[in-house]
Structure 1
Amino acid sequence: MLFQEIWRSGVSWDDEINQQCFEKWQTWLKLLPEIENLKIPRCYRLRTSAGQETEIQLHTFVDAGENGMAAAVYLRYAEKGKVECSLVGVRTRVAPLKYLTIPRLELQAAVIGARLAHLISEGLTISITKYVYWSDSRNALSWIRADHRRYSQFVATRVSEILDLTNVSDWKWVPTKWNVADEGTKWQSRLVLTSDIKWYKGPDFLYQREEEWPVTPDKMVEPMDELQANIHVHTETQRMAVPINNFQSLRGMVRATALAIRFLRNALSKCFTRISGGLTSEEIRNAEVFHFHAAQQDAF
C-alpha cells in the first residue's frame, strides 16, 4: 500500500518522498521489532483430536477495501462440545493501480479465497467434513448465486472460476465487524501482535454452535450495473398473400402461389405483357423459392 501511494505521488526514483509517506514508513519500521515477540503454535489443535468423532471444518473469510484484498483460512475442530480454531493460511493483494469499484474488488477477493482454500485442502492430509466461505459483500454473494452469464465479462469470468472451485451453498454472509479478513485490507498504524488475537484464533462466533452463526439473507438486491447490455431487434412480419394452412399438399400450395404471383404481376406491371395460359416451370420454381425465403425469414 505504501509503495503504491508513493508511486501515485509522482515522485521519481532519486527524489525524496513526501512527509506523509515518510511518516508511514517510519511507523512501519517501528512495528518490525514487535514481530520478534510473536509466537504462533505450529500445531493446529491443542485440546481436540483428529479422530472419527471430530468434525473438522475449513472456514474462509474474504474481504476487500479501496487499498487491498485479503483472504484468511481457518480450521475448526469440534469434539464433544470442545471447539478449537486456528489460522492455516492468509493471502493478501493490494488493489490494482487501475481503479476498480469496491464490489469488483470484493468479487476478486472471493476468487483469492476460493483459490487459497482449494490449495490448502489439497495439501492437508486430514479429512475436511465441511467447507464454508464468508463474505460481507452482498453484491459478490448475489453474483455468485445468480446466472453469471447475464453479467459483464469481468464478473462472469470470476464467478465461473469460483463455481469451479466451490459450491454455491457454501457461501455465507457475515457482518463486517465479524469478518476477520477486514483487518488485512486496511493500513493500521498500531497493531496488537500477539498470538491470542482473533486474526490467529478466528472470530468468536466460530466457537459457538452453528445455530448461532450469522444468518445469510434469503433474498439480496441484485446489482444492475454489471448486467450485459441487451440488444432488442424488432422485425416486421409480413402476412402471406396465400394462406398456406388451407392446403393439404405442397404441390397445390405452390401452384396457388404461382397463380397469385402471376395475378399481381399482371395487375401491377404496365411495362410487361400479360401472361395467360398454363403455369410454366419457371413460375412454379419461383413460387417454391418464394416459400423457401418466407420459411427462412420466419425461422431465422
Structure 2
Amino acid sequence: MDCHPIALDVLLQTQKILRERGKIRFHKFASNSQIVVDALSPGDRAGDLSDVQLDINTIPSQSSLGLKWNISSDTFTFSTDLKDVPETKRGVLSYLHSLYDPIGFLSPVILSGRFIFRDITQLELGWDELLPKDIILRWRSWQSSLHHLSEVEIPRRYVPTSIKNAERIELHTFADASEKAISAVTYIKITRNGKNHVGFITGKSKLASHHGHTIPRLELCAALLATEITTFVERQFDTQIDDIRFYTDSRVVLGYLHNKTRRFHTYVSNRVHRILNNSSPEQWTFVASDQNPTDIGTRSMPVNE
C-alpha cells in the first residue's frame, strides 16, 4: 500500500518536535509501506523490523493493544496461545478477560463463553470451588474451539478503496435482541467511481438481565446501543458522513420512536429520549429478522462458523 506523503511528513515532524521540545524519543514504528520503513532509521523501527525488506523477507506479525497485525497480508489476526486456568469461577472469569476484543470482531464467539459464566454465577459456588461436571464439559468444548481463531483474518482497511476520495459515505447500524443478549453492529458504505463498497466497523454485544426485561424492552436497549456506537464512530471520522441509517426488526421499537402522543413508563421514556437525542425517527427502518446481521451477536456463534 502506498503511503500518503503528508502522513509520512506528519510522522517525521512529530518525531522532531518531541525530540527538540520534550526530549522524548518517538520510535518503534511498524508499517506495511517500504517508503515509511526506508524513511526511518533502523533504531526507530519496531525491534523485529530493524533490518527487514518488506518485498524480500518474511515479516513478523506486530501486536498493538491486544491485536495482531499481519503486515504481509495487511490483516488482523488472533492469538491462540491462551493460558490454562483452573476450572473455577475465578479461572473462567480470568480467561474471558484475557480475550481482548475492543473492536468487536469476536463478539459472537466471546458471547458463548459469557453465557457459560453467567450460568456459573447462578450456582452457589465460591470463587475457587471446582465447577460441576456438566459446566466443565461445556467450558472445555468452547475453550477448545478457540484454536480455530488462528484461521480468522480480518482486513485492516474498512474497504479496498480510499475513503478520503469517496463520492459518498454512509453509516448503517443494525440492532437486535434475544432473551439472552442485546447487540448492535455498524458498517460503512463507500461509493466511489459509481461502485459501492461495504465494510465492518465495529460491533458490540451485552448480556441481558436475567429478570425484569421483556423482549420489546431488550429491543429498545439494543436500539440505544446502536445509537451509542454510531455516535462514537461518527466522532472518530475526520470526514463528512453523508447519511446515517439505523435498522431494527422490532416494530414495537419503531412505534416507540415515531410516537408523538402517548406517554410511556419512565424506563421506556428515558431510553426513547436518549435514542432520539442521537437520531431521528426518519433514520430508523424495519429489517426482517433473517436479514439482520446482528442476530449472531445476540445468540452467539462457534469460531469455525
Normalising TM by the smaller chain, what interval? Answer: 0.5 to 0.7
CA deviations over 1:205-261 (Å, ceiling 9, x no partner): xxxxxxxxxxxxxxxxxxxxxxxxxxxxxxxxxxxxxxxxxxxxxxxxxxxxxxxxx
Q: Which of the residues 120, 125, 145 maps onto 1:6? A: 120
**Alignment pair present for 1:40 and 2:161:** no
Other-structure match for 1:159: 272
Query: How far apart are the structure 2 equivalents of 1:112 and 1:27?
Result: 30
Alpha-carbon distance in structure 2 between the residues aligned to 1:148 and 1:62: 25
CA contact (8 A) 2:149 2:303 kept: no
SS in 2 for 1:36: helix
Cα distance per residue 1:105-133 (max 9 Å; x no partner): 11001111101100110011121100000
Partner of 1:135: 248
Q: Give the match for residue 106 of structure 1.
A: 219
Matched residue, 1:116: 229
Q: Equivalences for 1:192-211 in 2 at 5 Å?
A: 192=304
TM-superposed deviation, 1:160: 0.1
TM-score, structure 2 normalization: 0.59
The TM-score with structure 1 as length reference comes to 0.60
CA distance in 2, matches of 1:171, 1:29: 38
Distance in 2 between residues matched to 1:185 and 1:18, nearest whole Å: 26
**What is the CA-CA distance between 1:49 and the residue it aligns to?**
5.0
Structure 2 counterparts to residues 50-129 of structure 1, below 5 A: 50-51=164-165, 54-129=167-242
Q: Which ranges of 4 or more aligned residues in structure 1 deviate by more than 4 Å?
A: none
Asked whether the 8 Å contact 1:48–1:82 carries over to 2, the reply is no
The alignment partner of 1:134 has SS state of: strand
Pairing 1:277-292 to 2, within 5 Å after superposition: none
Deviates more, 1:179-188 or 1:59-68: 179-188
Task: Give the Å deviation of 1:138.
Answer: 1.1
| Alpha-carbon contact 2:223-2:275 (below 8 Å) kept | yes
> SS at 1:11's partner residue?
coil
Q: Does 1:28 align with 2:142?
A: yes
Alignment partners' CA distance in 2, 1:59 and 1:35: 27
> Aligned residue for 1:176?
289
Instruction: Give how far 1:159 is off.
Output: 0.2
| Identity value in percent | 27
One-letter identity of the residue aligned with 2:304: V
Two-structure CA RMSD over aligned residues (Å): 1.9
- CA drift at 1:191: 3.4
Contact 2:189 2:198 in 1 (8 A): yes
Q: Give 1:96's aligned amino acid.
A: S
Deviation at 1:149, TM superposition (A): 6.0
**DSSP-derived class of the 2:154 partner:** coil
Give 1:16 shift: 3.0
> Helix, strand or coil for the counterpart of 2:117?
helix
The structure with more radius of gyration: 1
The alpha-carbon distance between structure 1 residues 137 and 19, as it changes in their structure 2 partners (threshold 3 A), is farther
> 1:44 Cα deviation (Å)?
1.3
Does the residue aligned with 1:85 lie in a helix, a strand or coil?
Answer: strand
**Contact 1:48-1:78 within 8 A present in 2 as well:** no
Task: Encode CA deviations 1:166-192: one digit per residue, 9 max, x unaligned.
Answer: 11100011011111111011143x333
Unaligned runs of 5+ in 1: 194-300
Secondary structure at 1:126's aligned position in 2? coil
- Equivalent position amino acid for 1:27 in 2: S
Structure 2: 5+ residue stretches without partners? 1-114
Does residue 1:19 correspond to 2:133, yes or no? Answer: yes
Aligned partners of 1:12 and 1:136: how far apart in 2?
40
* SS of residue matched to 2:269: helix
Which one-letter code corresponds to 1:72 in the other structure? V
The question of 1:191 aligning with 2:299 is answered no
